[in-house]
Amino acid sequence: MTQMLEMPRVQTCTVTSCGYNHDGCTAFAVTIGSAISAECDTYVQTGDKGGTGKALAQVGACKRSDCVHNTDLECHAPAIVVGESGDKADCLTYEQG
């Protein structure tokens, strides 16, 4: 039997242009990264309101295999912080290993 791991929380998101950010990230889960950046792939620039209505988002997947918190494409940080980086939303907890 496979043991379920607790996913890290999105502790803070300061990207107010995202449709999932309503006093915190309200997506059920976010995906972080690509092969070349640590951006939040769940970010969507819109005036529409999305998400669960509660700021309880978790990290569902992380594609940054070079991050010190990443094992087998799963984030093992206690929590992450998402913030603005130019016109994107980036995982500010990303740390190259």
Tens of pLDDT along the chain (97 residues) come to 344 568 999 999 999 999 999 999 999 999 998 878 999 999 999 989 999 999 999 999 999 999 999 999 999 999 999 999 887 899 999 999 8
How many other C-beta atoms are found inside a 10 Å radius of the C-beta of residue 1? 3
* pTM for the full predicted model: 0.89
Q: In the chain, count of helices (H) and strands (E)?
A: 0, 7
Q: Facing residues of 45 across strands?
A: 18
**97 token code pair:** 């290993």
Which residues, 6 or more positions from 76, have their beta carbon under 8 angstroms from its beta carbon?
A: 8, 69, 70
Compute CA 64 distance to the chain's CA centroid, rounded to the nearest angstrom: 12
Which residues, 6 or more positions from 1, have their beta carbon under 8 angstroms from its beta carbon?
A: none
